[in-house]
Amino acid sequence: MAGEKGFVFLGLMQKMHEMTEVRHLLVNIATCIRIGRDYQKIYYSENQDLCKAEVGKLLEARKRKPLILAEACNKIIHATKLAFEKGETGAKEHPATENLKFPFLKPYVHLYGTRWNNSRGKNVPWKATVDVEAFAKHAAVACVGYMWQFKDQN
């Protein structure tokens, strides 16, 4: 029984580290894309589709709309709360762990925050759901494409 609790504790510690690392990577990647977009307007204006790729859903002022890469970067950077979508699986491979459930992260992150709305004169809450796989795919294309333009300058 004591070994089982230690096993579960280690699993929880691993998940906490994993969530911290994913949060850290999302903010770093979003910041890099945002900086690239802000300072390399020529590249991004010529490749508008990169920042318009759909990577999730946005709910703001009771309106649901697609979340594009550029807006996802802003939401990731400015979110006041981040929640991971989690799942649970059983382990039937080993008799000692057959009754244990093992958590895993689903590839969706829910972000929450507010945005000032001048017409309403107050902050409006928003919720963004980022499909992490789609975000990673389009972010990689945006970053590699951005770096590719400098390949012959060395």
- Say if CB 69 and CB 30 are below 8 A apart: no
Q: Is 151 exposed, middle or buried (0-12, 13-18, 19+ CB in 10 A)?
A: exposed
Q: What is the pLDDT of residues 26-78, one digit of tens each?
A: 999 999 888 877 776 655 555 566 678 899 999 998 899 999 998 999 999 99
Q: What is the pLDDT of residues 30-40, one digit of tens each?
A: 998 888 777 76
Q: Does pTM surpass 0.85?
A: no
Q: What tokens appear for 24 in the block?
A: 């850290």
